[in-house]
Structure 1
Amino acid sequence: MRQLRSVTNSLRFKLFATILLFMVPLIVVILVNDHYSVQVVRNQVAQSNKNLLSLYMNQIDSNLIDIDNYLFNLSERNTDLLQLEYPGNKGTNEYSLAKLRLYNDLKSEIEYYKTIDMFFLYSAANDDALLAGSSDYGSTFEERAAVQDEIRKLLASDLSAIDYEKWHVWNSGSGYYLYHLVRTGNVFVGAWVSADKLMTPLHLMDFGEDGGALLATNELEPMQLAGKVAEEEIDLHYDPESFALAGRERSYLVMGEASAKGEFHLIALVPQSAILQKLPYLQRISSAITIGACGFLILFMFIMRKVFLLPIQRIISAMRKLKDGNWQAQVKPYSTSTEFEMMNATFNRMIGEIRDLKINVYEEKLNHQRAELKHLQLQINPHFFLNSLNIIYNLATVKDYAVIQEMTKCLVAYFRFMFRSNSYIVTLRDELAHTRNYLRIQQLRFPGHLSYRIEAPEELLDSGIPPLVIQTIVENSIKYAVNLDGMLEIAVRASAEEGPAGRLIIRIGDSGSGYPEEVLAKLQSDEEAISEEGENVGIWNVKRRLRLLYKRNADIRFFNEPEGGAAVEIRIPTEAKGE
């Protein structure tokens, strides 16, 4: 929600929204007007072409009806057909004369029916065909022979399933034809016409440069323009009362009319580009205004971005870098307006002054932290010193001189480490040796009641660690967990953390009774756990030093083991002492 408010409250958003507030209604009105005009013109063109298709389809059906009437009259009234009906007559003089008279009748009549390519007769009883073609069908002998072969193929097919009331489509492989058969006994009288011939008058109509008209079968397979239909992916299904949009990007108007006499359709394809060319000039001007408005909006935004938004964006980018802590961020000099040049120069000077001030404050803070670290380390020394004197006093009381000698040797090593521990970092090797020496002192102090184990890989022994961290935790365990009625075991183990962080893990655990719940709750939080008597000052000291040295890169965790005993886990960055 905050990010959304930041975007909507930006100067860029407000500027863009203001422009859209004025431009969008204008563009919407123009687009609606364009769409309405295109739809009106589209409907007018569709209706005009629809009327033309209906007129021409009626003309085709009317011609086909005339041909049907002639075929019915011929089959009913011409007695010469009787000679072809009965088998065995073929080859006789009467049969031949009847064929000749029929041929002359068909030949003379076909000249009156310019639509037809050929009349034909077929005697099923004698398997004999008679063909009479018009004077203009086939420009060559080969073409006429091909048509005659197609008719013979038709006659050789199964004619029993044909609807004798309809004109049918014949696909020869090289072209489409329409035919009609009338049956009288065993004789078939038929007419044959090329589908292309029926389309000749429509070629004179203007359907646009890429448009056209075609005949289609009942399954809407195109008889013409098949390549265009496939290439443009035009679906020939149409609305009988209106039009359909088809083709890639719906770029064609599809209108059609079904034949009342045959199993075919007459379909017109009109490209929308041809329709739009017929729009009034005012409509074209409105389209130009729409395009100009969009172009103006883009140009305006480009200019505003270069003159206003980009300089502001550069300042904002520098501010974001400052927010992320990059105090070296500057607005680089570039050619811009005078006002922005002054803003950039003032911004750079202000950042330089703030950076200098921050450096001074940071150095002062570092000096303060160094003084605090030294104070914390010195705070430990009197505590250990008093403990060591108490140990020597107890040993002198029991007059165990051999143990006093070993104790004195251990104390010399112990205080030697203490007196040189003013540095902030020592090696893990030295810290573990000091801790081992301290545990030996305590083992001499509590014989038979304390044992310890220290483990660390060789490759980690040169890692840097704050001094007295491990020894302080061990001292706390001995102070609160040693019980003269049993054995206390203390384990110190160092290991490397898996993963990209690669921190040093130091785990200190004991076999005592563990932390009390209220003490553990304070230790697990950042709450200071020092009592009025000064208890837990060592643990607070360790936590404070880790925070000063490593910030959030180090952590210390206190918990009780499931099987009993207190445990502390310290994680610090793995660094060599010199680092």
Structure 2
Amino acid sequence: MYLANKSHKPFFNSIRFKMIFIFMIFTIPLNAWLIINNNYAMQVVRNQVSQSNKNLVSLYMVLIDRTLEEADKYLYSMITLNTDLLNMELSQNNNNQQYYSAKIRLFNTMSKDINNYKSIDIFFAYSGTNEDLLITQNLSASYYEMEKIVDDIKRIFTDKQFFDNYDYDRWFIRQIDGNYFMCHIVKTGNVYIGAWANAENLMVPLNLVDLGQKGKAILITGSYDPMNNADFISENKINLAYEQNSYNLTGYDEKFLVVGEKSNRGNFSLTAVIPDSVILEKLPYLQKAVSLVSFSSVFIIVFVYLIFLRKVILSPLSRIITGMKNISKGDLEARITLHRTSSEFEFMNLTFNSMASQIQELKIEVYEEKINKQKAELKHLQLQINPHFFLNSLHVIYQLAQVKDFNLIQEMSICLIEYFRFMFRSNLTFVILEEEVKHTRNYLKIQEMRFPDHLTYNISVLDYLMKYMIPPLLIQTFVENSIKHGMTLDDPIHICIDVGLGGTLANPMIKISVYDTGKGFPEDILQQLQLEIGTVNELGEHIGIWNVQQRLRLLYNEQAEITFSNRPDGGASVEIGVPLKIKY
């Protein structure tokens, strides 16, 4: 029934008729109009150019507003979901540890999240209770420039009258040494969180827009002051005031057409300044060509246009629509059959097929990534307390109790207490090297009591490095790996730990070497470790090494290094290098 009704729809409702009708309505009157009225044509050209650039400016204004809106959503989500902001309201004098722990976590969160906002230069949080400013940055500014920005942000919070009339839903403008910046601050309790962006960075997408040799895209304040290209505006005496639904023709020696669009996120606008000479330079030649061609070609164009419409537009468009419908129904295997057609539609067909394949692959990858993430989180929790290690240690104590070796029972108990005390606080981002070495030595004592005459070790550390910071469990993880995979009941194992200074004078590093006399890494596992390919299997083996690799990447980016090898005389070797970090 639906198909029958569809087949009886009148012809004038088809796209063929509509395109022919629009073509006839606009083409014939336009040709006659261009021949008769030269002066009016200039005005029309200006209107068309202004409207075109108005739409372009509106589009890019939407993009800028969307960028600022994404930052706003992040600020509001932080206020709603991040409990560390609430702890920033505590007095640092009365709640010192809780306050600074929240501050560190908040810094790490914002430092990580700011990488997702390329146009945002700074995220900051301010504790009104403690008059304490926390800043994370995403720009390569000089120390002097950064100091100026920080001082300006502080001035905002020390200005008691600023927030009396401040609209917390909108961005405002700050000027520093002739440079303009956008800022937005939201508040929860006595804690403020905000975003800071350089106006020049928001203009980066507009660098690709062609507005002519002298054309400019300019951000302006609510009082029509330019935020960029101020010298150009001053030299040409351009008035940037514009009407919302029209254009402004301004300038001294040379005229410029100005169109603009206001932002919905703050008291500023985006304008396009186009030289009038560029708009009109080809108008006389165009008028002559239209006058000559219009009468001779109007009848031929209709016939050619119908053939062209079907072959070049309607058929390829129909294939694309069919493919889109199949995708919307969930058929991710749907593809457009390639036919000989215009290059634009060939590109659209190839792009459609490529996007459909990417969507299909992405859906699978997202599902697999979700599963892997859940497994990794579960294994990470399991690393906190190894139940087999705990039960085996209790069994050793039980055996010692049977033979009434109370001295060893006491020593074993003390070692277990120290071991689990460290493990329960291993969620810290950094510990001092001295604590990590002490924990590793304690772990080796426990294993030595579990496997007497099968395990020996020595630890060599430079004393002056003991107060520097490293991630927790950095050494113990690889010691545990050596015992787990390298020790057998037939052959004893010896583990060596050396900690020294490496790197260069400009970039000194703590160099940690852990090697043993065991059987070494299997070749396939060694190759995966060297290429940083995940080696965690379903049993959770090597998850500790994976954990260390991920933490080093998150904490140091590309500044940390870790290498794996097998020693020529047997045994596995791990070399770790981390930047020197003083205890804070």
Same fold (TM over 0.5): no
Structure (1 or 2) with the larger CA radius of gyration:
1
Q: Please indicate the TM-score interval, normalised by the length of the shorter structure.
A: 0.3 to 0.5
TM-score by length of 2: 0.42
